[in-house]
Amino acid sequence: MTGSGPPDYTAFAPHYDSWFAPSDRVTEDTVGALAGLAKSAGAGPVLELGIGTGRIALPLTARGVEVHGVDLSPAMVGQLRAKPGGRDIPVALGDFRTAEVTGGPYALVYVVNGAFAELPTQDAQVDCFARAARLLRPGGLFVLDAHVPEALAQGAPAGGQLLPTRGGETVLRFREVDRAEQRYRSHYVVLGSGPAGGAEMHRTTVSFRYAAASELDLMARLAGLRRRDRWADWTGSPFTSASAFHVSVYERPA
Ligand SMILES: C[S@@+](CC[C@H](N)C(=O)[O-])C[C@H]1O[C@@H](n2cnc3c(N)ncnc32)[C@H](O)[C@@H]1O
């Protein structure tokens, strides 16, 4: 992963699930919420933008949802393909704003775990909403998660934040927020043991463009979508002025 431009997950794809994925609990909640939304959106396949290693797509498939995906990283999709059932999910390799996908129209299109904010400009994010709207059938839903900008700007701790991992490594994240550019960068430092038992350190940076919830709503409106729900987390907790994160659900009018 790099500091600017499209993210490059090549070096870190084998470690993504262990180092960079949220806790198992958050993954379960995400899958549960998306399964419910897919059901409420009616019949038809669903599409994950930035499907990555299949952290969400595989358990969602196991719940009986037909999941398709798009991703620009062959290394991340390689991780998906290596998992049981990973070869059965149709995946288009390319940018999710433009890559050709053939399985639609979709009942649900979703982009999670910050993948939307990896789009580096407002234009790219507007294009993503427009693409999602075109891929949905009438009545279909577009779902994304995002940080609340005020919480990002105020909450960046001076030190690093220790993240949960699935292996024995220690992952520290240092966030840097640039309010003028409406961007934040997450610097990750991973400390682990090397093959000979010695200490090993990795470092990478991911760059994001953040947008206020109201800006996202406007992007939706430009795309012909309307907001149906906004939650504070994947369990559906109410979104309040204290919320630091949101899950937003948009609908293509029937
Ligand atoms: C943070 S990972 C999330 C992976 C997966 N959605 C999850 O929740 O575990 C972001 C993924 O989105 C992909 N990605 C980011 N920007 C993309 C774009 N413009 N087009 C296609 N894939 C993109 C990356 O290659 C990576 O696999």
Q: Is 37 a pocket residue for ligand 1 (Cβ < 6 Å)? A: no
Superfamily of domain 13-150+211-251: Vaccinia Virus protein VP39 (3.40.50.150)
Whole-number Å distance, alpha carbon 196 to ligand 1 midpoint, is: 33
Domain at 152-208, CATH class: mainly beta
Q: How far apart are CA 188 and CA 173, in angstroms?
A: 5
- Across the chain, what does the average pLDDT equal? 92
Q: Indicate if the pLDDT at residue 99 is higher than 90.
A: yes
The residue ranking higher by pLDDT, 4 or 167, is 167
- Domains of the chain, by residue range, sit at 13-150+211-251, 152-208
Tell me the DSSP string of 157-186.
Answer: -SS-EEEP-SSS-EEEEEEEEETTTTEEEE
206 lines ligand 1 (CB under 6 A): no
Task: Tell me which of 23, 76, 135, 206 to substitute to probe ligand 1's pocket, judged by most ligand atoms within 8 Å of the beta carbon.
Answer: 76
Which is nearest to 63 in space by CA: 77, 80, 83, 46? 46
pLDDT of 156 above 70: no
Q: Which tokens belong to 79?
A: 């991780």
pLDDT in tens, 182-226: 999 999 999 987 777 778 898 999 999 999 999 999 999 999 999
Q: For residues 95 and 6, which has the higher predicted lDDT (pLDDT)?
A: 95
Q: What is the pLDDT of residues 22-36, one digit of tens each?
A: 889 999 999 999 999
* Cα of 198 from ligand 1 centre, angstroms: 32
